[in-house]
Structure 1
Amino acid sequence: MQFPESWLREYCNPALSTQELADALTMAGLEVEELDPVAPPFTGIVVGEILSAEQHPNADRLRVCQVDVGEAQPLSIVCGAPNARAGIKVPCATVGAELPPGEDGKPFKIKIGKLRGVESFGMLCSARELGISDEHGGLLELAADAPLGQNVRELLQLDDTLFTLKLTPNLAHCLSVYGVAREVSAITGSPLKPLASVPVQPQTDAALAVTIAAPELCGRFSGRVVTGVTTQVQTPAWMKARLERCGQRTVSPLVDISNYVMFERGRPSHIFDLDKIHGGLQVRWGRAGETLQLLNGNSITVDEQVGVIADDQAVESLAGIMGGDATAVSDSTQNIYIEAAFWWPDAIAGRSRRFNFSTDAGHRFERGVDPAGTASDIDYITALVQQICGGQAGPLHDQQVNMPVSTNVRLRVERANRILGTKLTQDQCADALARLGLPLTQEPGVITVQPPSHRFDLRIEEDLIEEVARIVGYDNLPETPPLAPTVPSVQSESRKGRFELRHQLAGRGYLETVNFSFVPPDWERELAGNANPIKLLNPIVSQMSVMRSSLLGSLLQVLKFNVDRRADRVRVFEIGRVFRRDAQVATTDSTVAGVDQPMRVAGLAYGAVEPLSWRGKQASVDFYDVKADVESLLAPRQAVFAAAEHPAMHPGRCASVSVDGIVVGHVGELHPKWRQQWELPLAPVVFELDMEAVLPRALPQGQPLPKQLPVERDLALIVPEAVTHAQLMQAVTSVNRAGQPQVLQDAVLFDIYRPKPGQGASGLAEGEKSLAVRLTLSKGDEAMTDADIDSAVQAVAAAVAEQLNGRLRA
Structure 2
Amino acid sequence: MIFTEEWLRQYVNPALSTDELAEALTMAGLEVEEVTTAAPAFSGVVVAEVLTCRDHENSDHLHVCEVNAGTGETLQIVCGAPNVRAGIKVACATIGAVLPGDFRIKKSKLRGVVSMGMLCSTRELGINENHDGIWILPDDAPIGTDIREYARLDDAKIELKLTPNRGDALSVVGVARDVHAITGAPLILPSMAPVPATCECRLPVEIQAPDLCGRFSSRVIRNLNPKAKTPEWMKSRLERAGQRSVSALVDISNYVMLELGRPTHFYDIKKLNADRLTVRWAREGESVKLLNGETVELTPWYGVICAGDEPECLAGIMGGDRSSINDETTDLFIESAFWFPKAIQGRCRKLNFSTDAAYRYERGVDYASTAEHLEYITQLVLDICGTPETKVGPVEDVVANLPERAPVKMRVDRCCKVVGVDIPLESMEESFKRLGFEYTLENGVFTVVPPSFRFDIEIEEDLIEEVARLWGYEKLPDRPPLARIAMKPSREERRSAHALRLEMADLGYQELINFSFVPEEWEVAFAANEKPIRLLNPIASQLSVMRTQLIGGLVDILRYNLNRRAERVRVFELGRVFFPDASVEEGPWTVKGVRQPQHIAGLAYGTADDAQWGVAARRVDFFDVKGDVERLIRPLKARFVKESFPALHPGRSAGIYVGDKRIGFIGELHPRVMQQFDLTHAPVVFEVAVDPLMELPLPDYKPVSKFQPVTRDLAVVVPADMEVQVLFDAVAAAKKKDLRLAPLTDFRLFDLYRPKEGEGAGEKSLAFAIELNSRTDEALNDEQTEGAVRAILEVLEEKGARLRQ
TM-score (norm 2): 0.85
Deviation at 1:290, TM superposition (A): 3.1
| CA 1:35–1:667: 2 relative to 1, 3 Å | closer
The one-character-per-residue Cα deviations of 1:696-719 (angstroms, maximum 9, x if unpaired) are 47669796683x544334456799
What's the counterpart of residue 194 of structure 2?
A: 199
- Give the distance between the partners of 2:218 and 2:567, measured in 1 at CA: 71
Higher mean C-alpha displacement, 134-143 vs 604-613: 604-613
Q: Is the 8 A contact 2:205 2:279 kept in 1?
A: no
| CA 1:793–1:382: 2 relative to 1, 3 Å | same
What's the counterpart of residue 43 of structure 2?
A: 43
What's the counterpart of residue 478 of structure 1?
A: 477
Q: Secondary structure at the match of 1:185?
A: helix
What amino acid maps onto 1:268 in structure 2? P
What's the counterpart of residue 253 of structure 1?
A: 248
What's the counterpart of residue 791 of structure 1?
A: 784
The one-character-per-residue Cα deviations of 1:142-162 (angstroms, maximum 9, x if unpaired) are 111122222222221122011
What's the counterpart of residue 397 of structure 2?
A: 399
Q: Secondary structure at the match of 1:793?
A: helix
What's the counterpart of residue 131 of structure 1?
A: 126
Match of 2:166 among 163, 171, 174: 171
- Give the distance between the partners of 1:177 and 1:544, measured in 2 at CA: 35
| CA 1:290–1:768: 2 relative to 1, 3 Å | closer
- Give matches, 1:529-568, under 5 Å: 532-539=531-538, 542=541, 544-554=543-553
What amino acid maps onto 1:67 in structure 2? V
What's the counterpart of residue 412 of structure 2?
A: 413
Q: Is the 8 A contact 1:731 1:800 kept in 2?
A: no
Q: Is the 8 A contact 1:649 1:669 kept in 2?
A: yes
What amino acid maps onto 1:294 in structure 2? L
What's the counterpart of residue 348 of structure 1?
A: 344
Q: Is the 8 A contact 1:719 1:805 kept in 2?
A: no
Higher mean C-alpha displacement, 268-277 vs 16-25: 268-277
Deviation at 1:78, TM superposition (A): 3.3
- Give the distance between the partners of 2:512 and 2:168, measured in 1 at CA: 46
- Give the distance between the partners of 1:236 and 1:218, measured in 2 at CA: 33
| CA 1:407–1:559: 2 relative to 1, 3 Å | closer
Give the root-mean-square deviation of aligned CA atoms.
Answer: 4.2
| CA 1:492–1:6: 2 relative to 1, 3 Å | same
Deviation at 1:49, TM superposition (A): 1.7
Match of 2:385 among 383, 386, 389: 389
- Give the distance between the partners of 1:329 and 1:642, measured in 2 at CA: 70
What's the counterpart of residue 267 of structure 1?
A: 262
Q: Secondary structure at the match of 2:258?
A: helix
Q: Is the 8 A contact 2:548 2:579 kept in 1?
A: yes
- Give the distance between the partners of 1:131 and 1:85, measured in 2 at CA: 23
Deviation at 1:426, TM superposition (A): 2.5
Q: Secondary structure at the match of 2:250?
A: helix
- Give the distance between the partners of 2:480 and 2:22, measured in 1 at CA: 28
- Give the distance between the partners of 2:689 and 2:215, measured in 1 at CA: 56
| CA 1:255–1:796: 2 relative to 1, 3 Å | same
Deviation at 1:427, TM superposition (A): 2.1
Match of 1:225 among 187, 195, 220: 220
Deviation at 1:187, TM superposition (A): 0.8
What's the counterpart of residue 54 of structure 2?
A: 54
Q: Is the 8 A contact 2:203 2:220 kept in 1?
A: yes
- Give the distance between the partners of 2:703 and 2:155, measured in 1 at CA: 86
Q: Secondary structure at the match of 2:136?
A: coil
- Give the distance between the partners of 1:599 and 1:222, measured in 2 at CA: 50
Deviation at 1:15, TM superposition (A): 0.6
- Give the distance between the partners of 1:146 and 1:759, measured in 2 at CA: 110
What's the counterpart of residue 100 of structure 1?
A: 99
Deviation at 1:736, TM superposition (A): 8.3
Higher mean C-alpha displacement, 314-323 vs 170-179: 314-323
- Give the distance between the partners of 1:613 and 1:742, measured in 2 at CA: 46
Structure 2 residue 354 is matched with structure 1 residue 358? yes
Deviation at 1:163, TM superposition (A): 0.8
Structure 2 residue 454 is matched with structure 1 residue 459? no
- Give matches, 1:558-637, under 5 Å: 574-582=573-581, 591-603=590-602, 627-637=626-636
- Give the distance between the partners of 1:688 and 1:300, measured in 2 at CA: 41
The one-character-per-residue Cα deviations of 1:268-312 (angstroms, maximum 9, x if unpaired) are 222222322213231322333333332222222333332222224
Q: Is the 8 A contact 1:605 1:685 kept in 2?
A: yes
Q: Is the 8 A contact 2:350 2:541 kept in 1?
A: no
| CA 1:183–1:729: 2 relative to 1, 3 Å | same
Deviation at 1:545, TM superposition (A): 3.6
Q: Secondary structure at the match of 1:431?
A: helix
- Give the distance between the partners of 1:410 and 1:184, measured in 2 at CA: 25
What amino acid maps onto 1:156 in structure 2? A
Q: Secondary structure at the match of 2:93?
A: strand
Q: Secondary structure at the match of 2:228?
A: coil
Q: Is the 8 A contact 2:345 2:537 kept in 1?
A: no
The one-character-per-residue Cα deviations of 1:587-611 (angstroms, maximum 9, x if unpaired) are 6665545544444444556788778
TM-score (norm 1): 0.85
What amino acid maps onto 1:30 in structure 2? L
- Give the distance between the partners of 1:119 and 1:601, measured in 2 at CA: 80
Match of 1:338 among 334, 341, 349: 334
Higher mean C-alpha displacement, 211-220 vs 176-185: 211-220
- Give the distance between the partners of 2:678 and 2:87, measured in 1 at CA: 78
Deviation at 1:239, TM superposition (A): 1.4
Q: Is the 8 A contact 1:224 1:393 kept in 2?
A: no
Gaps of 5+ in 1: 761-765
Structure 2 residue 7 is matched with structure 1 residue 7? yes
Deviation at 1:753, TM superposition (A): 8.8
| CA 1:558–1:5: 2 relative to 1, 3 Å | closer
Higher mean C-alpha displacement, 393-402 vs 695-704: 695-704
| CA 1:749–1:351: 2 relative to 1, 3 Å | closer
Higher mean C-alpha displacement, 139-148 vs 788-797: 788-797
Q: Secondary structure at the match of 1:235?
A: coil
| CA 1:793–1:297: 2 relative to 1, 3 Å | same
Q: Is the 8 A contact 1:715 1:808 kept in 2?
A: no
| CA 1:703–1:25: 2 relative to 1, 3 Å | same
What amino acid maps onto 1:422 in structure 2? V
| CA 1:456–1:658: 2 relative to 1, 3 Å | closer
- Give the distance between the partners of 1:7 and 1:311, measured in 2 at CA: 37
What's the counterpart of residue 763 of structure 1?
A: none
What's the counterpart of residue 372 of structure 2?
A: 376
- Give the distance between the partners of 1:747 and 1:484, measured in 2 at CA: 54
Q: Is the 8 A contact 2:218 2:397 kept in 1?
A: no
What's the counterpart of residue 728 of structure 2?
A: 726
- Give the distance between the partners of 2:70 and 2:563, measured in 1 at CA: 77
Deviation at 1:315, TM superposition (A): 3.1
| CA 1:140–1:659: 2 relative to 1, 3 Å | closer
What amino acid maps onto 2:19 in structure 1? Q
- Give the distance between the partners of 1:473 and 1:722, measured in 2 at CA: 73
What amino acid maps onto 1:43 in structure 2? S
Higher mean C-alpha displacement, 399-408 vs 8-17: 399-408
What amino acid maps onto 1:412 in structure 2? R
Q: Is the 8 A contact 2:741 2:791 kept in 1?
A: no
| CA 1:553–1:725: 2 relative to 1, 3 Å | farther
| CA 1:76–1:216: 2 relative to 1, 3 Å | same
Q: Is the 8 A contact 1:735 1:795 kept in 2?
A: no
- Give the distance between the partners of 1:335 and 1:47, measured in 2 at CA: 38
Match of 1:324 among 320, 325, 340: 320
Q: Secondary structure at the match of 1:11?
A: coil
Deviation at 1:236, TM superposition (A): 1.4
Deviation at 1:64, TM superposition (A): 3.3
Q: Secondary structure at the match of 2:216?
A: strand
Deviation at 1:13, TM superposition (A): 0.8
Deviation at 1:557, TM superposition (A): 5.5
- Percent of pairs with identical residues: 49
What amino acid maps onto 1:365 in structure 2? Y
Deviation at 1:431, TM superposition (A): 1.0
Higher mean C-alpha displacement, 648-657 vs 435-444: 648-657
Q: Secondary structure at the match of 1:379?
A: helix
- Give the distance between the partners of 1:166 and 1:62, measured in 2 at CA: 46
- Give matches, 1:482-561, under 5 Å: 482-486=481-485, 516-521=515-520, 523-524=522-523, 527-528=526-527, 532-539=531-538, 542=541, 544-554=543-553
What's the counterpart of residue 84 of structure 2?
A: 84
Match of 1:303 among 299, 302, 321: 299
